Amino acid sequence: MQQNFREAIEDPIFETIAQAAKALQIDCYVIGGFVRDYVLQRGLPKDIDIVAIGSGIELAKQVALLLPNKPQVSIFKNFGTAMLKHNGIELEFVGARKESYHRDSRKPIVENGTLEDDQNRRDFTINALAISLNEANFGALIDPFNGRADLEKKIIRTPLEPAITYSDDPLRMMRAIRFATQLEFEIALTSLQAITDNKERIKIISKERIVDELHKILASKKPSIGFALLHKTKLLPYILPELVALQGIEEIEGQRHKDNFWHTLEVVDNIAMTTDNLWLRWSALLHDIGKAPTKKFHKKIGWTFHGHEFIGSKMVYKLFKRLRMPLNDKMKFVQKMVLMSSRPIVIAEDFTTDSAVRRLVFDAGDHVDDLMTLCEADITTKNAKKQKKYKNNFKLVRQKIKEVEERDHIRNFQPPVSGEEIMRTFNLKPSKEIGIIKDAIKEAILEGEIANEYEEARAFMIKKGLALGLSQDNV
Ligand code: ATP
Ligand code: MG
Single out the residue of 171, 213, 165 nearest to residue 193, CA to CA. 165
Q: Is 147 in the pocket of ligand 1 (CB under 6 A)?
A: no
* Ligand 1 atom at minimal distance to the Cα of residue 171: 27
Q: What is the mean pLDDT of residues 64-78?
A: 95
Average pLDDT estimate for 359-373:
94
Is the CB of residue 127 below 6 angstroms from any atom belonging to ligand 1? yes
**Contact criterion met (CB below 8 Å) for 325 and 331:** yes
Express the helix, strand and coil content of the chain in percent, nearest 5 each.
55, 10, 30
Amino acid, single-letter form, for residue 122: R
- Nearest ligand to the CA atom of 166: 1
Which residue owns the Cα nearest ligand 1 atom 17?
Answer: 32
On the question of pLDDT at 352 being above 70, the answer is no
Cα-to-centroid distance, 84 and ligand 1 (Å): 18
Alpha-carbon span 213 to 323, nearest angstrom = 12
Secondary structure of 406-452 in the HEC alphabet?
HHHCCCCCCCCCCHHHHHHHHCCCCCHHHHHHHHHHHHHHHHCCCCC
Higher per-residue pLDDT: 252 or 262: 262
pLDDT at 2: 59
Report the alpha-carbon distance of residue 89 to residue 314 in Å, rounded: 41
Which atom of ligand 1 is nearest the CA belonging to 175? 27
Ligand 1 midpoint to CA 133 (Å): 20
Element housing 49 (H / E): strand 47-52
Residue 216 CA: which ligand is closest?
A: 1
Query: What would the DSSP string read from start to end of 148-188?
Result: HHHHHHTEE--SS-HHHHHHH-THHHHHHHHHHHHHT-EEP
Q: Which of 181-185, 303-307, 420-424 has the highest mean pLDDT?
A: 181-185
Say whether 267 sits in a helix, a strand or coil: helix
Beta carbons within 10 angstroms of residue 160's beta carbon: 12
Question: What's the residue count for the chain?
Answer: 475
Ranked by mean pLDDT, the top range of 276-285, 292-301, 349-358 is 276-285
pLDDT digits (tens, 9 = 90+) for 281-307: 999 999 999 999 999 899 888 889 899
Tell me the best of 123, 156, 198, 216 to mutate to test the pocket of ligand 1, counting ligand atoms within 8 Å of each CB and taking the most.
Answer: 123
Pair 71, 90: CB distance under 8 Å: no
Name the average pLDDT for the chain: 94
353 has a pLDDT exceeding 80: no
Averaged pLDDT for residues 186-207: 97
pLDDT at 221 over 70: yes
pLDDT digits (tens, 9 = 90+) for 90-118: 999 999 999 888 878 888 888 899 999 99
Rounded-to-integer distance, Cα 150 and Cα 185, Å: 9
Neighbours of 393 (CB within 10 A): 18
- End-to-end alpha-carbon separation of the chain, Å? 93
Q: Does ligand 1 lie within 6 Å of residue 33's CB atom? A: yes
> How far is the C-alpha of 342 from the C-alpha of 336, rounded, in Å?
11
- Specify the 3-state DSSP secondary structure of 50: strand
